[in-house]
Amino acid sequence: MDPRRWMVKPVVLLFCMLLLFGLLACEPTRSGPKAWIDEPIDGATVPRGDGVRVISHAFARPGVREVELTVNGDTWEGVPIDPPGAPFGKAMHKWVPKNEGTYVLQVIAFDNQGQAAKSDPITVRAAVAVVRAPTFTPTGTPTTWPLPITPFVRPTHTPTPTTMRMLVSPTNTPTPRQPTPTWTLPRAVPPVTLTPTPTTYWRPTDTPTPTRRPTDTPWPPAQISFRVDRAVIEQGQCVTFYWDVEYATAVFFDGQGVVGHGSRQECPGQTRAYTLHVEAPRGGGDQHITIQVVPREPESHEPESRDTTPPPAPVPRVPANGSDVDCRSRVTLVWEPREDPRNMRGYYVKIEVQNTKGKYGPAGEWGPVQGKQLDVNVQCGGMYRWAVRAQDKAGNMSDWSGWSSFGVNID
């Protein structure tokens, strides 16, 4: 026996083992969970108002604790995988699209160590109506089927009986069809004639729609905020108007075209109303603010011995401090006088709106106001605070009361 031939086998075996160890050592170490969506596929059309099955798979070496479904970035629900807690498994969610439009679906896998991973997002479209066509079972002997193929894309493979979906747009006008050639199926199919419905599109349930229709996004209602820093001034004084308008096509302040977000200072010589006119597809119209101009008080020539004691500050009562009110455009502020109202010249009120958390800006200032209440403009979803102070007939001004805050709920 040739000794060189006897030594070849161990050398080859050793070389294969070294190569195997090298491949294992070079294998990248994967960490963290993985997730992906299997159904529906990207670009699919789903029925609006029906339950849609979303199937995904997830993997994590420590075991998968939960898979969470998000729709347009918002969490829909989280479910455990099957089998629960396994390193690899399937998750199934039931999602119901309530409105017609385009939705972005994504799943997030969480492993037992708290790590998370997102799948690639997919986009699906919710249709207005989905009707299932009957399933035809082939019987009999092979025959020629004169099938109009206008609603179909001619298949390039052997056709098989398939459950079809029919998307119907009943508002379209039927269009005359041109004569369509007939063709012969290579399988046994009964001679059934399908009558096309106007503007009807047929497709298999597992095939994305060839042509996507643009999603009609409804125009939101106009959002209008029109306010002034104070509604009562003396002759020669000025006020500043503020407005913020969203989802409008044109805005006019006192008859002049302006941008949607702005301000303007006005110095009226007499009491008058100012109008903000908004043109919008939904919810436009006019809002009015009246500026009351009162005569300027003459300079006092009272002797030095006149009363200089300020009155006590009034107490804000309504809305109660820290309370919330229903969505509305105006709120009545009510305060409790601490002095005989007959000795009062009037009251001064100021209100501020929260722009960012903890930071407020002016939303209006009034005075002197007779009585003990005042109607002010507010906006749904806003946070406000207000204060009041009194002035007696001798001209003495009290301190401002403490702030009283309230919120206006969103409709």
Indicate the domain borders of the chain: 34-127, 134-139+148-153+161-175+182-215, 218-230+243-292, 308-411
Q: Does residue 130 have a pLDDT over 50?
A: no
How many whole angstroms separate alpha carbon 353 and alpha carbon 356?
9
* Domains 34-127 and 308-411 belong to one CATH topology: yes
Mean residue pLDDT of the chain comes to 79
The set of long-range contacts for 253-257, using a CB threshold of 8 Å and a minimum separation of 24, is 253/277
Domain 34-127: give its CATH code: 2.60.40.10
pLDDT by residue (tens digit) across 304-345? 557 788 999 999 999 999 999 999 999 999 999 887 777 888
Burial of 388 (0-12, 13-18, 19+ CB in 10 A): buried
C-beta of residue 334 within 8 angstroms of C-beta of residue 386: no
User: Torsion angle of alpha carbons 167, 168, 173, 178, nearest 10°?
Assistant: 50
pLDDT by residue (tens digit) across 57-113? 999 988 999 999 999 989 989 999 898 989 999 999 998 998 889 999 999 999 988
CATH 3.60.150.10 fits 308-411, yes or no: no
pTM: 0.32
User: Torsion angle of alpha carbons 374, 376, 381, 383, nearest 10°?
Assistant: -60
How many whole angstroms separate alpha carbon 336 and alpha carbon 158?
87
